[in-house]
Structure 1
Amino acid sequence: MIQRRSAPPANSSPAFYQLLVRVVQVADENIDSAALSTVLADIRDHFGFDSAFVYEHEPSGRLTLQESASTSGRTNLPESFTLDSVFTADQTAQLVDFPVLYTDAPGSAETDTTCRIRELFASESMFIVFISDDVQAIVACVGMADTRRHEPPEDDELDQANMLFKPLAERARLRVYKRKLGYAVTTLESIMDHIGFDIYVNDFDTHEMLYANKSMAKPYGGWENMRGKTCFEALYSGQSDECTYCPKKHLIDEQGNPSKTYSWDYQRPFDGKWFRVISTAFTWTDGRLAHVISSTDINEAKNNELLIKRMAYCDMLTGMPNRRKFEEDMENALSNAQARDEGIAIMFMDLDGFKQVNDVYGHNGGDYLLKHVADMFLENALTADRCYRYGGDEFIFLFENTSPTRACEYREAILGTLGRPFVLNDKEIACKGSVGIAHYPEDGTSYWQLLDKADEAMYRDKEQRKQSR
């Protein structure tokens, strides 16, 4: 047996108090590992043990040796171990319930748990403190081991050891927490940077930028170039006030509490790219209300959508807006005219002699004529955004906020444009047409009433032209 030193009781030893002060000082988690190893050596020598140690939980699930102080030749501290490879679940639970254990050579008082501890550390005598987290999982252990057998300790010596190792155990627990937090932050940042869409967070009231992932920050020079700015300063050069379309009002209830998510499509001004934007309000880490904005690149989808819409609204032969587009624009024009008490004029135009062109020049000749007529009106400032191909050789024009007198002037301008000759198969052809006018509200107040009136007026014009030849 090893005789322990004949020191005064722990609670009256000046050497013990000096050692306790050093332990408390190095228990600060900012003190380096070398200082901790030195104080472990002092604790080891104070009790006459071979070694002292600190093990901490790693992401792999193993308790790994972080610091140790061993006498010359001491090599049997395990580098790492897992609890479930040493203890049963019940034994691990006992370590959580009774974290401070002293174990020496086999005897009547030794349990299977303490026996397994001695076997793990290849030691005859052990003092060990297990530290658990808030979910009762062991995250660290600190203590001493000796290959020699010690006599059972006095109570004051156990108290002494406990007082010295508990601050070191708390330091270990804090380091494990910080390590886990660091891993969690790194993992979360990696997820946010590779999630496939852009995210930024700003203060709900001041608009101060609080966070942006890499894909969001990259077009603006990186996060360092956005930090400390308001969102509108960071995202829009020269802007000094809140965006007119800021969705904040959609995100909170009458009491100012986060209420719902809001989504809209946004086109970035400096490169024209389209994004689907989703916004919501939530509580930031410091308790303030924050606004998180995530956006997904929908440029290809949006362009495809616009292309499909253009195809749905465009006459493929002439490039003009088609009948469907006219019907939609007409409904909007009627709604505006009713609200503003304004007049609307629509003009229905049919080409004269179109069948003869098809008969003489074939359908390719007829198509050429239709495209020529469409180009004339699309290139004319008066009709460029007011003309539509209704079908066959029929065209229609829509003029908002127009009086009957002004509508007649527009009709004459249309006939003048149409009358310009063009060349087809080396022959000069004069294109002619008949145009009828309908005016809102005099000739009707609905789409179909006005269309019927314009159609009737167009046929009257055609008959008059035939009679005048």
Structure 2
Amino acid sequence: MICKAFSFDGALVYEADQAHDFNLMERHLLHEFPLCETFAINSIDPEFRSHMAKSVVTSIDKKEDNTTGERQLLETLSATHVTAFSVVDENARIFGLIVFLKTGSGKALLDEDHKRISVLLAMLGRYIGVRVYQNKISFAKNSLESILDNTGIDIYVNDFHTHKVLWVNKSMAAPYGGPSAFLGKVCWQVLFPGQDGPCEFCPQKNLLDEDGNPSKVYIWDYQRPFDGSWFRVFSAAFRWVDGRLAHVVSSADITDNKRNEELIEYLANFDSLTGLPNRRKLINDCTILIDHIQNRGNGYLLFFDLDGFKAINDNYGHDSGDEFLIQLGEFFLGIPMLKNRMYRHGGDEFVALINGSVMKDNIRSLVNFIHERFKKPWPLKKGNVFCNTSVGVACYPEDGNTSEELIRKADHAMYEIKKKGGAGICFYEEIEAFDSPANNPVLLQKS
């Protein structure tokens, strides 16, 4: 109606995007002519932009003496006349533009026409301005949700007190049936069907300060029960759009990280050849064992050193030596008394930790059983080999209160057996009883 009443060739609505470019969103043309689909607002003279933002309705005719900015707008729109209404925000920034234009040499507008158009555009501008602003908000909302849906992080928000889900992103909702399965429902009913109350591990108590206000982000790890996946979870309290207190939960899948951590942990604590725990884990486990049995029992540390292992390497090669060590580790693990208690200390040295209601006679019986096996050949790919082992034993708490002290004394006792020909067992206390270092220069040097 406005185009026909005032002989305009067309009417256009431009909306600004996040890059401050104006994009043609709506059009009404009385006849076809070239259109400017998009243009950068910053390409227009800044002084003229300020004028448009303040004047609201702007009228420009090519026949008149125009400013730089006015000429730029006419050239951009390929028009001979432009009447425009600017949609501005609270900071006087233009985010919408309603344009009526002429492209030919039609009759000029009268002053009375300008007044009527200004009144009409003021009314039309308020209507379209609201729509443009809603589009801007919708665009921002959709952009934000798109970002949140594609970050690789699962997110949901629930009411802090009722626990009803207020919002959820697609990646979080996908395994449970989509957003509709979450929204308006209590979080634990969706995540843990059949559960009738808040999760025991829910960190909400850590999200508020003593005055009941949101505090810092709380970080924790969680394993999903139905598929075993691991997540690094970030929880925080904040105010929702309506002012209520809400709880946002975001999580990143760290299953691969956990597996890598487990692999690193395994490599740090287990011998790559035999698969037995290594010296590092021995020290840690022995310390834990001492703390556990302190004042409530005793424990034994058995130090095994092979007799004649060098000959296997020399005669058959190091591959055969490795083959023998693997076979020996499997033999040790097959003994019930040593299962989950055997360690490779390094080279051809092994250590066992034994605690509980075990007597020294039980330890001697165990070592005798082991020596009986060593009397038989060990079958390898290149032939049968014979070997034996010397065993030193340190007792807790009699011989020491630390893992290093017990290892050192068990090693000392094992060395005594080596001096006497090997293939035997010696408790550390037996050294001090009949072969004190003060009276034995060899032991004194070893100590």
Relative to the length of structure 2, the TM-score reads: 0.72
1:412 aligned to 2:350? no
What are the Cα deviations for residues 388-437 of structure 1, in whole angstroms up to 9, with x where unaligned? 1223443222234x2463x6435534543563465534998887655444
Instruction: Give the superposition deviation at 1:326.
Output: 0.3
1:185-224 aligned at under 5 Å gives the runs: 185-224=141-180
Match of 1:57 among 15, 20, 34: 15
Instruction: Give the superposition deviation at 1:240.
Output: 4.3
1:105-184 aligned at under 5 Å gives the runs: 122=80, 129-138=85-94, 139-141=96-98, 147-149=106-108, 151-153=110-112, 158=115, 162-184=118-140
1:329 aligned to 2:289? no
State the partner residue of 2:444.
none
State the partner residue of 1:9.
none
State the partner residue of 1:260.
216
State the partner residue of 1:384.
339
State the partner residue of 2:354.
399
Instruction: Give the superposition deviation at 1:58.
Output: 4.7
Q: Secondary structure at the match of 1:168?
A: helix
Q: Secondary structure at the match of 2:401?
A: coil
What are the Cα deviations for residues 54-110 of structure 1, in whole angstroms up to 9, with x where unaligned? 63325383364735486xxx6679666758699633233222222245789978xx8
State the partner residue of 2:433.
none
Q: Is the 8 A contact 1:95 1:130 kept in 2?
A: yes
Match of 1:290 among 242, 246, 256: 246
Q: Distance in 1 between matches of 2:179 and 2:164?
A: 13
Cα distance change on mapping 1:466 and 1:177 into 2, 3 Å: closer
Cα distance change on mapping 1:255 and 1:312 into 2, 3 Å: same
Q: Distance in 1 between matches of 2:415 and 2:69?
A: 109
Instruction: Give the superposition deviation at 1:44.
Output: 6.6
**Which is higher, the Rg of structure 1 or of structure 2?**
1
Q: Which is further off, 244-253 or 424-433? A: 424-433
Cα distance change on mapping 1:44 and 1:56 into 2, 3 Å: same
Q: Is the 8 A contact 2:389 2:423 kept in 1?
A: no
Instruction: Give the superposition deviation at 1:375.
Output: 0.9
Aligned positions, number: 411
Q: Is the 8 A contact 1:142 1:165 kept in 2?
A: no
Match of 1:99 among 31, 53, 56: 56
Match of 1:347 among 301, 322, 336: 301
Cα distance change on mapping 1:333 and 1:91 into 2, 3 Å: same
Cα distance change on mapping 1:137 and 1:414 into 2, 3 Å: same
Q: Distance in 1 between matches of 2:284 and 2:49?
A: 74
Q: Distance in 2 between matches of 1:374 and 1:179?
A: 71
Instruction: Give the superposition deviation at 1:163.
Output: 4.9
Q: Distance in 2 between matches of 1:67 and 1:49?
A: 17
Cα distance change on mapping 1:87 and 1:384 into 2, 3 Å: closer
Q: Which is further off, 203-212 or 130-139? A: 203-212
Instruction: Give the superposition deviation at 1:345.
Output: 0.8
Q: Secondary structure at the match of 1:186?
A: helix
Q: Distance in 2 between matches of 1:308 and 1:114?
A: 65
Q: Which is further off, 188-197 or 141-150? A: 141-150
Q: Distance in 2 between matches of 1:354 and 1:56?
A: 90
Q: Which is further off, 378-387 or 243-252? A: 243-252
Cα distance change on mapping 1:377 and 1:221 into 2, 3 Å: farther
Q: What's the % identity of the aligned pairs?
A: 35
Cα distance change on mapping 1:380 and 1:58 into 2, 3 Å: same
Q: Distance in 2 between matches of 1:164 and 1:466?
A: 109
Q: Is the 8 A contact 1:343 1:439 kept in 2?
A: no
What are the Cα deviations for residues 303-362 of structure 1, in whole angstroms up to 9, with x where unaligned? 333223322222233221111110011122223334xx4334123143564458638964
Q: Distance in 2 between matches of 1:415 and 1:223?
A: 67
Cα distance change on mapping 1:295 and 1:149 into 2, 3 Å: closer
Letter in 2 for 1:66: E
What are the Cα deviations for residues 156-201 of structure 1, in whole angstroms up to 9, with x where unaligned? x94x655543232111111211222232233223322332443343
Q: Secondary structure at the match of 1:227?
A: coil
Relative to the length of structure 1, the TM-score reads: 0.69
